[in-house]
Structure 1
Amino acid sequence: MLQTEGLAVQRGDRTLIANLAIELAPGSVTWLRGRNGRGKTSLLRLLAGLSTPAAGAIRIAGRSPHEGGAAWRRHLVYIGHQNALKDDLSVTEALRFLAQLHGLPSAEAPLHLALQRMGIADRRYAPVRTLSQGQRRRVALARLALHRDSPLWLLDEPFDALDVEGIAALNSVISEHAARGGCVLLTSHQALSLTSPVPAVLDLDAAVPRRRPA
């Protein structure tokens, strides 16, 4: 599903990640770990096509970004730290905006079902500004329930601010995605409770960052 060869990520004159080779299979969940500043977010953004690697190649479903074009982007979904919700909209309106932005189903029924999956449907008419941080995170993550046709999910701290019920809801969504043959690469500062499938671990601290030669 996802392959990299000789991948390098730089920030200024520092190489955060060098010569990284990844092979993630369909149906897998991988926990991307590393200390703060190690380059986890930078790597996810790079894999999502939002930045350019200093070196190396990325292939999703066997194709590079240049080979795949727009179809390549439809193979993946990236959800970062920011929830990207507009305070002046209701929960349903905010999710509809995100759905339309990413070319996803935006009718009332699929939006309602997506919010149900994340346990936030009871607040579907509430203004976003009235939500707690955990509730906002649930709304942002509800987009995953609309991304059934995007096999690769790249999730940056998806469990951040979630309570026990929110974590259980997200675990269920991730497990079902993997059972369909999807692939998930995620970061988390907290221990994962997902058991189906048991996540593999990709530890960036196993490699030592190097400075670019002067």
Structure 2
Amino acid sequence: MEKIGSIMALCGREPIYGVSGPGTGTSVVCRIEPEAASRWMPEVDDWTDDQLVALLDVTNDNVKSLMTRLAVELRNPGLAGDLMIELIAGQLMIELHRSRQAAVQVCSGGLAPWQMRLIEERFNDQIHDVALKDVASLCGISVRHLTRAFRVSQGCSIGSYLSRIRMERAKSDLIAGESIKVLAPRLGFSSVSSFTSAFRRDVGISPATFRRSFR
């Protein structure tokens, strides 16, 4: 069974079966008509199994930001809302195509799947005050090798990756109604203001505005 991430892209006529844990959640579904998708994406018959699997867990930061903007726009339509949604959908197609291209590139010198899995588990348990020497030891490699191989595998630094995890955790907790004052130190921020600045820089709106949009 393949891992399914917080964002996934599915091709038409391709069935998918999954199992989720207990609890409830909120989902945003963006359906792109074949005519619009064909401009940026090849027919599904041209996709390899590896490419299809890669789209079950889209880690592209731009895609995540666009989906967040789409959710906010749908809940609180603004001026020219229909046009804004159409523009966001177009950007999504471009970013997904870039993700597809990245999936076919063969990267040498990256981390092995088992190493990346261990790193993800560690980061999910501890998203701040992470000691790179401990992570490197976990993978059986040096810190220098870890930082270089991680960038090859993920296309970003470990710091950027951790920031992304923190922001995704922040969004989830804010949607659940978590207090910003409680959330900021839990995610490793020294103050509410530093958390607010980081959140606004990543998402484009303040944490308070983001939380209100899901009420």
TM range (shorter): under 0.3
TM-score, normalized by length of structure 1? 0.24
Bigger relative contact order (CA 8 A; separation at least 6): 1
Structure of higher CA gyration radius: 2
Q: Which has the higher helix share?
A: 2
Higher strand share: 1
